[in-house]
Each structure stands twice: as structure tokens, then as C-alpha cells.
């Protein structure tokens, strides 16, 4: 009986600490090939967006940049993750994506290297964002390009926003402003 109780306690502790993972535990590669450590964003709200250059929703870059211009800084950041998972709408190289974003939308928020946001080759960060077992909020799938994930200052996922919801939607702005 003591052995069963001990195993149960250990299993519970493992589950609790596994479920306590935050975005701050991840390191990724930025679009220029440098390591990007999410722990450097502790204390900031984060919006993570999977992006694509040849999508009907691509004009959302303009709104994302406007939000970043207004709110980006010590308390808030947007992180873009180019992904080619939906009808080949992000076929470019990192250099081509960076040039497209800067030339067409003046993007200055951090862009990461291209990742997979679904399927067998899903990036570990997106496994975290889409698995309730890991993120403690919800099981979800990335429905399309420009899905938004809102992360609080502690690195916890707090909301998943539809790709069709525009970045400057009042729900998002209220969250950024802390209302």
C-alpha cells in the first residue's frame, strides 16, 4: 500500500510540474538564424501569430505592425512565426520572408524562422500552444494562417484567437491594455 501511495504522489508531482511549463521555457531561432530565448520576455504580454506572405489574411501584417508601434516595448511584444502549412502560402526562404515583411508592411516586431504549426513535424512551441496537457488552457488546432495566441506576463497561454479576428479587434486591444 505504501508503494502504491508513493508512486501516486510521484506521478502527481510529475504531472503538476509537467503542466507548469510556460512559454518562457522555450528557445527558438529567429528569422536571421539567431537563438531567441522566450525567458527574456518574462513580465511581458506576448501575442504569437503564425504568418504567411501569400494568404488572403496577409494584410493583417499592417494591423499587427500598428499594434506593435502603439503598444510594443516593455510590456507587450508580438512574435511572428512564418509557416507553410496551409496551401503552400509561405513558400519563401527566411531572407525572402524578411524582405517581404519589411518592404510591404514595415514589420519591425520579431519574426522567427519558418516552422510547422501542425502535423508530424509540428514545432515544439506549437505543441505547447495546442495541447491542454502542456498549456493548461485548451486543446486546439491552428486553423489557418494568422491564428493568434495571447500569453500573459507569467508565460501562460490565456486565449486563442481565430485567424479571421483582426489584430486590432477590441477583445485583443482590451487584453493588451489590461482591461
Give CA torsion, residues 73, 154, 24, 66, to 10 deg.
-30
Choice among 55, 66, 98, 158 that is catalytic: 55
Distance, in Å, from the CA atom of 163 to the CA atom of 50, rounded to the nearest integer, reads: 9
- Asked if residues 91 and 100 have their Cβ atoms less than 8 Å apart, the reply is no
Distance, in Å, from the CA atom of 89 to the CA atom of 129, rounded to the nearest integer, reads: 21
For the question of residue 14 being annotated catalytic, the response is no
User: 173: which residues sit within 8 A by CB, 6+ positions away?
Assistant: 67
User: And the C-alpha cell for 145?
Assistant: 494562417
Rg (CA), the chain: 17
Catalytic residue numbers read 55
Amino acid at each position: 500500500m505504501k508503494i502504491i501511495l508513493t508512486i501516486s504522489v510521484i506521478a502527481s508531482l510529475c504531472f503538476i510540474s509537467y503542466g507548469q511549463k510556460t512559454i518562457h521555457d522555450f528557445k527558438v531561432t529567429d528569422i536571421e538564424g539567431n537563438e531567441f530565448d522566450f525567458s527574456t520576455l518574462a513580465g511581458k504580454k506576448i501575442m504569437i501569430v503564425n504568418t504567411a506572405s501569400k494568404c488572403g489574411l496577409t494584410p493583417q501584417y499592417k494591423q499587427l505592425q500598428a499594434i506593435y508601434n502603439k503598444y510594443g516595448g516593455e510590456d507587450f511584444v508580438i512574435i511572428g512565426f512564418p509557416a507553410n502549412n496551409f496551401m503552400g502560402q509561405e513558400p519563401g526562404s527566411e531572407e525572402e520572408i524578411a524582405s517581404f515583411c519589411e518592404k510591404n508592411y514595415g514589420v519591425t516586431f520579431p519574426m522567427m524562422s519558418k516552422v510547422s504549426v501542425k502535423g508530424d513535424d509540428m514545432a515544439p512551441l506549437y505543441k505547447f500552444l495546442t495541447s491542454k496537457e502542456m498549456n493548461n488552457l485548451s486543446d486546439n488546432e491552428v486553423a489557418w494562417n494568422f491564428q493568434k495566441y495571447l500569453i500573459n506576463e507569467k508565460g501562460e497561454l490565456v486565449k486563442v484567437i481565430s485567424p479571421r479576428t483582426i489584430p486590432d479587434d477590441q477583445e485583443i486591444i482590451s487584453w493588451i491594455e489590461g482591461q
